[in-house]
């Protein structure tokens, strides 16, 4: 009897994992073309009372400046890596060992999309493991253009503000396709902590960081892979 119950338990468990695998795979394909109805992060924002202000737009309706700004700020190797920047990871590990009271991240745009679309903020090794899996899958199944489009539509860019169109309208009273280089850099500058670093009025961090991002944008202009991606 006991052996039959154990056997049935494992059969049901395998079936549940199979259904979960099929569901997540279908959802990854769904999000290849359609933005998610809501993410866990956005849902938490609503529950906490921060609200949810967003307006999904197409890649073509985003200014080349904002595409360039987030790459300059968050992931300059984005067009070339396969989801993970190994060099940045090694540098972050080395830095964190020397500065135990500070933490430097090395997440790529692809990893942030995996987290923002399919997972949740914070978390330990379990979430990180899932993040690796989803990063691998979107790099395999989506284009770089789609990954960047999803990032710019879903990233939090202020308290309760998600996506570049909502951010552009709230901060600068214009559509995202009209953002200047400076405005795009200001939005990109808040991304490490959008609840803390205000864009308008600009916090001290955003003011300093956005100037550095503009310089990096100028340095990246002319790179063949980046220009092909932002046009």
In a domain, 10, yes or no: no
Helices 164-172 and 181-189, interaxial angle, to 10°?
Answer: 110
In a domain, 200, yes or no: yes
In a domain, 120, yes or no: yes
In a domain, 190, yes or no: yes
pLDDT at 1 over 60: no
Number of domains in the chain: 1
What is the 3-class SS of 33-50, one letter each residue? HCCCCCCHHHHHHHHHCC
Domain that holds residue 81: 40-230
In a domain, 7, yes or no: no
Q: What is the mean pLDDT of the chain?
A: 91
For residue 140, give the CATH number of its domain.
1.10.3810.10
pLDDT bracket for residue 8 (50, 70, 90):
confident
| pLDDT of the residue at 88 | 76
pLDDT at 91 over 60: yes
In a domain, 1, yes or no: no
In a domain, 180, yes or no: yes
Kind of pairing between the strands at 53-54 and 161-162? parallel
pLDDT bracket for residue 103 (50, 70, 90):
low
In a domain, 119, yes or no: yes
| pLDDT of the residue at 101 | 62
């Amino acid at each position: 009897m006991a052996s039959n119950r154990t056997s049935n338990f494992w059969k049901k468990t395998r079936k549940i994992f199979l259904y979960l695998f099929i569901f997540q795979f279908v959802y990854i394909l769904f999000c290849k073309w359609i933005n998610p109805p809501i993410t866990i992060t956005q849902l938490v924002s609503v529950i906490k009372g921060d609200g949810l202000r967003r307006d999904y737009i197409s890649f073509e309706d985003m200014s080349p400046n904002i595409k360039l700004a987030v790459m300059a700020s968050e992931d300059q190797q984005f067009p070339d890596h396969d989801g993970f920047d190994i060099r940045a990871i090694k540098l972050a590990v080395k830095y964190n060992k020397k500065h135990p009271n500070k933490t430097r991240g090395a997440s790529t745009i692809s990893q942030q999309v995996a987290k923002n679309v399919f997972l949740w903020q914070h978390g330990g090794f379990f979430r990180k493991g899932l993040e690796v899996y989803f990063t691998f899958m979107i790099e395999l199944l989506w284009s770089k253009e789609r990954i960047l489009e999803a990032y710019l539509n879903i990233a939090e860019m202020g308290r309760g503000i998600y996506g570049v169109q909502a951010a552009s309208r709230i901060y600068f009273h214009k559509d995202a396709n009209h953002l200047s280089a400076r405005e795009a850099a200001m939005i990109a500058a808040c991304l490490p902590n959008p609840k803390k670093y205000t864009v308008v009025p600009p916090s001290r961090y955003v003011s300093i960081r956005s100037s550095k991002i503009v310089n990096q944008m100028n340095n990246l202009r002319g790179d063949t892979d980046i220009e092909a991606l932002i046009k």
